[in-house]
Amino acid sequence: MYTSLKGKHLLDTQDWSVQDIEQLLKVAFRFKEERELGIYHDEVLRAKTFFMLFFEESTRTRNAFEAGIHQLGGHAHFLTPKATQIDHGETEKDTIKVLERYGEGIGIRKTFGTGHAYMREIAKWSRIPVINMQCEDYHPTQVLADLMTIKDRFQNNLKGKKIVVSWTSAPNYIRPLSMPQSLIQLMPRFGMDVTLAHPPEFSLKSGIMETARKNAELAGSKFEVVESMEEACKGADVVYAKGWGPIMHTEDEEDGVRIIDSYRENGNMDWVVDKRKMDIANPESIYMHCMPYDRDIEVTSEVVDGPRSVVFDEAGNRLHIMKAIMAATMANL
């Protein structure tokens, strides 16, 4: 299979054309189908190395990349700032100019502060593809697996399908804006109508909102913002709800957590995905979440364990997308 993606960085899905993404999905679907048939692909990245630099923890992203490159015949190195000289101040340029001599690709997760700028700086100096494993603004490998999951469910026919991207009141800490921002940017490009729902304190970055609106306009799809999960769910085909922080409203973490918690006071269910909300969505609608979710806080167990939930297929598709990304950017596919 031929693709034109060799050597390409993946920092934001906006950097890839719709044609690039369709090529990638074709490879991912093929890997998925052939794995189910017991066909091996261990020649594709034979003796190649993918570096995984994690500034934060991960279950899905790390293990999908690591299992994925093993299945393709290569090897992954798990790196952290502490396990390298990054914690001692080694620069982006010095780090990548060394690693590019040892391996063929690198993924980076840095979800707070200046993660995206850090990746762009690495990419500026890198001769090997740089993959964003999540930054403060974007989570491209997740949102591409989400697109794969939705295409699979709706037989590739996304025109006019409604996706709700909703805030939920997730406890304990401030989650980044990367998931809602990635979803509202990508899905309109593939014909989906996007309804973003959040309370007033949880707005997203204005530049990314503008990109989402332009993407919708160019593709002839719709983009709207409402302040009620229930209103958003009416007639939805996909309900994708997760927590994020009031990052555009306050920089104070304690204040942020207090605002998040205030939307759950006195058993308030307005921002929880429950059966009542799924019942006002379309009968064939699906529930999605990138995981990890807070059970019975963001979503009821009845919904997440119920027949409309596709969360495990969605997480499973991370493997096929990661393999497709590495194969297409690091090999001569």
Binding site for ligand CP (CB under 6 A): 58-61, 134, 142, 290-291
Q: Are 144 and 175 in contact (CB under 8 A)?
A: no
Q: Which is nearer to ligand CP, 10 or 331 (CB)?
A: 10
Contact 183, 143 (CB under 8 A): yes
CB nearer to ligand CP: pick between 54 and 223? 54
Secondary structure element (H or E) that encloses residue 287, with its range? strand 286-288
**Closer to ligand CP by Cβ: residue 60 or 193:** 60
Q: Which of 4, 59 has the CB closer to ligand CP?
A: 59
Shortest Cβ 171–ligand CP spacing (Å)? 17
Cα angle vertex 282, ends 277, 288, to 5°? 65
| CB of 60 vs ligand CP, minimal distance in Å | 4
Q: Which is nearer to ligand CP, 58 or 211 (CB)?
A: 58
Residue 77: strand pairing partners: 51
Rounded least distance, CB 314 to ligand CP, Å: 9
In the complex, minimum distance from the CB of residue 291 to ligand CP, in angstroms, rounded to a whole number? 5
**The length of the chain, given as a count of residues:** 333
Residue 203, token pair as written in the block: 């707005």
List the one residue out of 29, 110, 105 whose CA is nearest residue 66: 105
Answer for the pair 75, 51: CB distance below 8 angstroms, yes or no: no
User: In a 3-state reduction of DSSP, which class is residue 194?
Assistant: strand
